[in-house]
Amino acid sequence: MKKIFTLIMAAALVSGVASARDKITTDVNELPESARTLLSQYYHDAGVSRIKIDSKISGQSDYEVILDDGTEIEFAHDGSLKEIESGRDGVVPENLILKSIRDYVSTNYVGRKIVSMDVERNGYDIELSDGVELKFNKSGKVLSVED
């Protein structure tokens, strides 16, 4: 029992130290260049409400950007896109989505919009405006559908 308590306390301490490495800012210049480019290209009219810089033990950082309209965008350490969740009835910008995925959605889910996209190592997770979730591989072939 004492070992379990010690492990729990050690985990809490490590967690606390790790979260202390986070930085909150609104300065877009703290983002990698490719993340700044994406924001200026697709969200140039949206103000930045908050940027959370999550510094990892490895020395690399991930970035979470929250825009004034509630849109949340996550970037990897190199500025590559990890996730977009649109805010206030928004949609994921069309040009950020593979054409094959856009075509599949417009053909099979007429009138529904893509409101969320997770870019993963093996593909994409897409959420539509009606809550349907779609999984695609890296080339845009549909793998699964969850209603």
Q: How far apart are CA 110 and CA 87, in angstroms?
A: 21
The pLDDT of 20-46, averaged and rounded, is 92
Distance CA 29, CA 18 (A): 23
Cβ atoms of 66 and 54 closer than 8 Å: no
> pLDDT tens across 46-55, in order?
999 999 999 9
Query: Is 53 in contact with 34 (CB distance < 8 Å)?
Result: no
Q: How far is CA 47 from the centre of its chain?
A: 17
Spatial distance between the Cα atoms of 64 and 113, rounded to a whole number of angstroms? 23
Nearest CA to 35 among 67, 81, 69, 71? 81
pLDDT score at 89: 79
Residues 84-93 pLDDT 10s: 999 987 999 9
Cα radius of gyration (the chain)? 18
Are 66 and 84 within 8 A, CB to CB?
no
As a whole-number percent, the residues of the chain with pLDDT over 70 amount to: 86
For residues 15 and 59, give the distance between their C-alpha atoms in angstroms, rounded to a whole number. Answer: 16
Tell me how many degrees the CA angle 12-59-52 measures, rounded to the nearest 5: 70
